[in-house]
A and B are shown apart, each in its own frame.
Chain A
Amino acid sequence: MRPRRKRLLAVTAIVAGVAAATTLAMLAFEDNLLYFYNPTQVHAGEAPTDRMFRIGGMVTEGSVQRTEGTLKIRFVVTDYKESIPVNYEGLLPDLFREGQGVIAHGRLSDSGEFVAHEVLAKHDENYMPPEVAESLHLPTPARPST
């Protein structure tokens, strides 16, 4: 193969690759973005009702209710202005505790409650998730996790 055809092949391959990659990224990206909202924003109706999002705040003291002997749990997430009840069934992360920050993935039910399918523990015991800290206007901790 002559150098010119070789170059043509290389350029075509790269352009095709980049085009395919871009298309793929555009399609996959929008579907998989998870937005974060605090309880005040949810109350104001800013959160979507037709797709999943993340909610975060503090677990209100005394709000955790278990259905005895099952995995069902209900707790209230607050940003000290508004509160949202959260329903979840499953194992909770080690870091879940009343009075501490939490992030949950899930969607809003018709009754205005948040149905979580995952409760996150990406933070360590020394700080709360940054989204939560910022939505509470607390200073963000500088110490990294791992």
Chain B
Amino acid sequence: MIPEIGHFALILALLLAIAQSVFSLGGAARGHAGWMAAGRSAVVGQCVFVAVAFGALVHAFVQRDFSVLYVAMNSNSQLPVYFRVAAVWGAHEGSLLLWSLCLAAWSLAVTGFSTSLDAPFRSRVIGILGLISIGFQLFMLTTSNPFERLVPAAAEGQDLNPLLQDFALTVHPPILYLGYVGFAVAFAFACATLLEGRLDAAWARWTRPWTLAAWLFLTIGIALGSWWAYYELGWGGWWFWDPVENASFMPWLAGTALIHSLAVTEKRGLFKSWTLLLAVSAFSLSLLGTFLVRSGVLISVHAFATDPARGIFILGFLTAVIGGALILYAWRAPRLKSAAGFEATSRETFLLFNNVFLIAALGLILLGTLYPLFMDALELGKISVGPPYFELVFLVPMLPLLALIGVGMHAAWKRGLLGSARNRLLIIAGSAIAAALVIGAAGFGEIRPLTTIGFALALWVMATSIAIPVGRLRARLPIPGAVLGMVIAHFGLGLTTLGITGVQSFKVEKDVALAVGDAATVADYDFRLTALRDVQGPNFVGVEADVVVSRAGEPITTLHPQKRLYNSGGNPMTEAGIEVGAARDLFAALGDDLGQGRWSLRLQYKPLIRYIWLGALLIALGGGLAALDRRYRRSAEARAAAAVSTATARAP
């Protein structure tokens, strides 16, 4: 009964989404206040019914209702309740429902916080969000219904993929989706602007906090995914350039370009149509990412052949959203004129380069991700593009980008780099290079060109970031939230760069065969296998090893890697044993029984790896602080007055 209520709620949500778009867009076009109000009410109703549907699916999982196909496919009676709830978004159908719920929540938030926008514009934004909702709900109801019954009911479920039975991966999809879907708001703002054919500083000011919020969720989501891959996939890598990862990284790159371009549009009224195009791209890439990962197209292009309806719907939906937005853009964007100049060393120039480098990296990653799919679809052979390609094409634009960040932050709008700032930056650059050489030589006993460049850029970005609040405090200037956010985010980027350089330059990995009592040496740490024992979990059995790590005779820690076999059957799972440290991680993963009492183990020394994720968290924190900047919360009148003053003052 409950699943039918969920199904029915989904149908009602679809009808309300239709009402939301028709009344909002129609009301805005005709200037009818009543219709626009009806559109806003529909948002609330839609959100409620999607939540009811989602609740019904959660209920089915918690109650182990194996008469629902999706529940039977993705959970098991032995699965702990926490993972049964997380299993809701463990596969395609439930992910779409979660996506819909995120979209409904964002729509509700936009409706609630946009009272100061002029009514027709607000309604157009709501109407476009409604159109996206229609697409998703129609997709679910016609091809991917999570409430489909299984007749007769299964006695037992198949279980959630054991890889997904983990904390980080239970929170990873919802956070990632909040990011993906958040770009829908920027997209809706961009389309509404194009419909109205005018763009002012208030538009950019309105879009910025929403975009920042979406981007910060996406940042956290990607970092969680990377962290999970590191400890749960079992082999200690933190980024594989897998299409699944690229699918979330590409919208992030577009979103990063967007928040920087928005800054220019807000402060200086420049890059207007480019900003709109980025807003459209960021959301289009989010849609592409969702479908790439969840539709099965990555597993096989020909998977669509088994379920053509799904493939055709996805292609149609992508075409409608992306094509529609681009046609609107081509039609209306020429009306938006930017009329202002700027100096070659002004902040505008640096932000322009930021966009060029980010988009270059994005384009090359997109090529590497989609090319194998096209080749396969056209029957031109099966290929894959290896990580060395992605590493090269990502690194080459990122190195100059990191170098320019430090200067760009200190450049003034319009006028360019001031003399005093120039001297300060030269001192920082010199110190960063010297410190990088020292770290390489003293910390790791070696000086290598790429490592030195990496460390120097990391320190450069961090030091130039800190120099901003220091300089402001010295000059007794206030530090607004937006400036603090920028500084923390860039500092975080430097920290991530530091971590990546450290781990990629100096990691040591060794596969060894050890019997109890044997030891192996990895980067002057001794890993000794001291015991093997059987363990029993709630829904698995396994073997656990004790690996005592010592350095120069001093014991440091004992690692407990496990090999698990889940009761629902299938393949074994590797749970790594990791000792976390500020300077390095020590990592042991248990392989197989090799005979003669020996087991295979992968032992690793991972210097500075924690800073990759710590930096990402700071990047997200910076985004959050910037989004909460006071100027976004002033009333409409104050905003209009402020627009005049900030345009003339030396802006942060």
Q: Which positions in A face B, CB cutoff 8 Å?
A: 1-3, 6, 9-10, 13-14, 17-18, 20-21, 24-25, 28-29, 31-36, 54, 66, 68-71, 89-92, 94-95, 97, 122-127, 130-131, 133-134, 139-146
What 7 A-B pairs come out closest when comparing CB atoms? A130-B300, A32-B389, A36-B382, A125-B570, A69-B596, A32-B386, A21-B360
Closest-CB distance, A134 to chain B (whole angstroms): 7
| Chain A residues positioned under 8 Å from B119 (CB to CB) | none
Closest-CB distance, B76 to chain A (whole angstroms): 14
Question: With A and B bound together, what is the CA distance between A75 and B108 in angstroms?
Answer: 58
A34, A36, A94, most chain B CB atoms within 10 A: A94
Is the C-beta of B330 less than 8 angstroms from some C-beta in chain A? no
| Chain B residues positioned under 8 Å from A146 (CB to CB) | 161, 163-164, 244, 293
Is the C-beta of B469 less than 8 angstroms from some C-beta in chain A? no
**Docked complex: B536-563 residues within 8 A CB-CB of A:** none
Check A6 against B341 for contact (C-beta < 8 Å): yes
Check A140 against B164 for contact (C-beta < 8 Å): no
Closest-CB distance, A127 to chain B (whole angstroms): 7
Check A34 against B344 for contact (C-beta < 8 Å): no
Is the C-beta of B507 less than 8 angstroms from some C-beta in chain A? no
Question: With A and B bound together, what is the CA distance between A36 and B303 in angstroms?
Answer: 18
Q: How many inter-chain residue pairs (CB < 8 Å) link A and B?
A: 158
Q: Which of A2, A122, A140, A144 contacts B293 (CB 8 A)?
A: A144
Residue of A nearest to B569 (CB): A125
Is the C-beta of B234 less than 8 angstroms from some C-beta in chain A? yes
Residue of A nearest to B270 (CB): A6
| Chain A residues positioned under 8 Å from B385 (CB to CB) | 29, 32-34
Q: Pick the interface stretch among B8-16, B363-371, B423-431, B434-442.
A: B363-371
Check B300 against A25 for contact (C-beta < 8 Å): no
| Chain A residues positioned under 8 Å from B356 (CB to CB) | 13-14, 17
Is the C-beta of B403 less than 8 angstroms from some C-beta in chain A? no
| Chain A residues positioned under 8 Å from B147 (CB to CB) | none
| Chain A residues positioned under 8 Å from B515 (CB to CB) | 69
Q: Which of A10, A34, A133 contacts B386 (CB 8 A)?
A: A34
Provide 18 A-B residue pairs closer than 8 Å at the C-beta atoms, listed in order of the A residue.
Answer: A1-B341, A3-B339, A13-B356, A17-B356, A20-B396, A25-B367, A28-B392, A33-B384, A34-B385, A36-B382, A70-B598, A91-B591, A130-B299, A130-B302, A142-B296, A143-B296, A146-B161, A146-B163
Is the C-beta of B136 less than 8 angstroms from some C-beta in chain A? no
| Chain A residues positioned under 8 Å from B389 (CB to CB) | 28-29, 31-32
Q: Pick the interface stretch among B35-43, B185-193, B571-579.
A: B571-579
Q: Which of A13, A94, A123 contacts B234 (CB 8 A)?
A: A94
